[in-house]
A and B are shown apart, each in its own frame.
Chain A
Amino acid sequence: MSSALPTRTSKTPAEGGDGRARTGAPPPGSARPGSVARRRARAGWFFASPALLVVAAVTVFPVLFSLVLSFCEVRLDYGGLRLGSPTLGHYEALLTHPEWYRALAFTLGFTVVSVFAELVLGTLVALVLERLGAARGWILALLLLPWALINVIAAQLWSYLFNGTYGAVGWLCEQLFGTQPDILGEPVPAMAAMVVVDVWKTTPFVAIVVLAGLMLIPGDVYEAAEIDGAGPWTTFWKVTLPQLRPIVAIAVLFRILQAFGIFDLPFVLTQGGPGTATQSVAILGYRILFQNLDFGGGAAVAVTTAVIVMGCCLLFLRVFRAHVDEEGRA
């Protein structure tokens, strides 16, 4: 609990800020609480601003630009992109088109299933890793490999393994079940394949984050549980899991963001097919932007996606607010 001290106590004087009374820099070494807090407050922005400026410089304009594009008629002519009169047409076209809802449903389904699977598997893996002795280093290092694999390569590797003619997965299925399923050629297996690849590639991420969380749980908590006579199962549900929640919340949040933007996998594995079964929102946006060259429509996809994800995140943060705030200090 002591760790919460600096942030919590120093907040009040800073916010009370006797800004007008600031007459000069306090002499170095001065330990007067007010001036130290003031100095620290100024240092705060001084420290944070380079990073924030870089982020803002690169992302704010493109985001606003997309917003403007999505509400305008956009035309390309020999001078480049031209903005025409304002319109809601892009949103209207999108919201009245069944394909958008299908893409959204696939993306949501994919996100929920894969993030859930990764969370469960990642926690299991982390629990195993935590208990491993000397082998932990090796296995953790091996786990890092799929995750560090370049996305495009991972997608190519799996498209090779899933290949309908000579893929190893199909061959294995034939040996095990006697039939060779057409994995990428049928909607449900193709969706399942996406989840499998995503789980293979990103469970290590969740596992590592959870493992770091496990290591932060103080041993005395377990001792207390032991004294209370709790078995391993009860200990996990009543002690480990609640302690893990804040860190897991962060991991899940960022996984949701990533999974919702899924692009590389369907792009390489199925091109969104069969039919439009694995067409994610990002693939749809990409198609509208770069195949149809409809920059307004593409921007509308991006904005609607961002609004939806933002809504989910805010909801998520609200539910987990306490945990997120307490993250690391619990």
Chain B
Amino acid sequence: MSRHIPRTGVRRYVNVVNLGGLLIAGCATLPLVWMASASFKGPGEISATPPSLLPEDPTLGNYETAFVRNGIGHYFLNSVVVACVSTVLILSLAFFAGYALARLPLRGRGAVMTALLMLSVFPPIALLVPLFLMERQAGLLNSYPGLIVPYVALNLPFAIWIMRNYLSGIPGELEEAAVVDGAGPLRTAVTVILPLARPGLFTAGVFAFTATWSEFLLALTFNGSDDRRTVSVGIALFTSQYQVPYGVIFAGAMVATVPIAVLVLVFRRSVVSGMTTGAVKG
């Protein structure tokens, strides 16, 4: 997998490196462990001092509240649909656009790249009202497309940038060979470039998925009706002005996070190679 030749001094740093690795893992996960533990605490223990790392009297009450009273399962499904469809659309559009911008003789490439950047500069809160007006006119409110369309549009610029950068790093020989063989641009793109682009697509996909998975403001405003709410909005609804139900919030957070964590941990090998492979440089 790794094509790295061991470097000088690597051995000497093994301990430091491993310690560093542990430290990183600890910093990244400790707050999450805390959250997981708190999700099993009862209302009294969750606000106890000194705080306990593990619940003394574990309870599933928070989960019951999250599932039964607040329908977190349904919100979760909505999120899965919206995030997955958005990610797939973003990737397919970004692949072709990135390919065109990276490798095809496109007039005004610089202007396009700059324009994409400029559009992502605009603060999303300012887009909320006009987007709402547009969605109302189009009848998209409280529907999956109502979120997917703006998610795709707002996350495309970054995905295109990633794909362009990735694809311009792919060696040109294969492509040239395809052209010489008489393959049209579409066939070249799909049969030659696409397989090579997988790591880049993977990276862009992870970025797109996390962004759409956690978006809050648009989801709250456009998909307010109960049956179309996403997890981030659903969990925000747990908070009430009457008390801070951290236990229930964290139970909902666990429901939203654990499946992703399991996926990432199980497929960590492909995640690592997907996100960091440099083999294409040959």
Contacts and interface: CB of A to CB of B under 8 A. Distances in A.
Q: When A and B assemble into the complex, do they touch directly, with CB atoms less than 8 Å apart?
A: yes
Interface of A: 2-7, 10-11, 13-15, 28-31, 36-37, 39-41, 43-48, 50-52, 54-55, 57-63, 65-66, 81, 124-125, 128-132, 135-153, 156-158, 160-161, 163, 165-168, 171, 200, 204, 208, 211-212, 214-219, 222-223, 226, 232, 247, 250, 253-254, 257, 261, 263-264, 281-282, 285-286, 289, 295, 298-299, 301-303, 305-306, 309-310, 313, 317, 327-329
Chain A facing B: main interface SS: helix
A59 B216 contact: no
Interface string B134-160: 100000000000000110111011101
Nearest to A38: B105
Nearest to B267: A141
Given A48-B112, A137-B272, A54 B152 contact: yes
B120 A31 contact: no
Task: Determine which residue in A65, A131, A219, A281 has the highest number of CB atoms from chain B within 10 A of its CB, and name it.
Answer: A131
A154 to B, nearest CB: 8
5 contacts: A28-B184, A45-B100, A51-B97, A150-B257, A156-B249
Contacts of A302: 122-123, 125-126
B28 A2 contact: no
Contact of A28 (B34, B182, B235): B182
Nearest to A180: B49
Interface in B13-39: 13, 17-18, 20-21, 24-25, 27-29, 31-32, 34-35, 38
B172 A147 contact: no
Nearest to B35: A157
A47 B105 contact: no
Task: Determine which residue in A7, A204, A219, A250 has the highest number of CB atoms from chain B within 10 A of its CB, and name it.
Answer: A7
Listed from nearest, the 7 A-B pairs whose CB atoms lie closest are A302-B126, A14-B105, A328-B169, A58-B153, A43-B185, A44-B104, A29-B182
B104 A125 contact: no
A41 B105 contact: yes
A153 B272 contact: no
Given A51-B94, A153-B253, 15 more contacts: A3-B170, A7-B105, A44-B101, A45-B106, A55-B157, A60-B119, A125-B20, A137-B271, A160-B38, A171-B50, A212-B276, A214-B276, A306-B126, A310-B118, A329-B168
B173 interface: yes
Interface size on B, as a range, is 35 or more
Chain B facing A: main interface SS: helix
Given A48-B96, A135-B18, A257 B125 contact: no
Given A36-B179, A208-B276, A299 B235 contact: no
B25 A142 contact: yes
Contacts of B169: 3, 216, 327-329
A59 B122 contact: yes
A141 B161 CA distance: 24
Given A43-B100, A137-B271, A166-B51, A62 B131 contact: yes
Given A54-B156, A147-B210, A285 B271 contact: no
B29 to A, nearest CB: 5
Nearest to B175: A6
A142 B23 CA distance: 12
B172 A125 contact: no
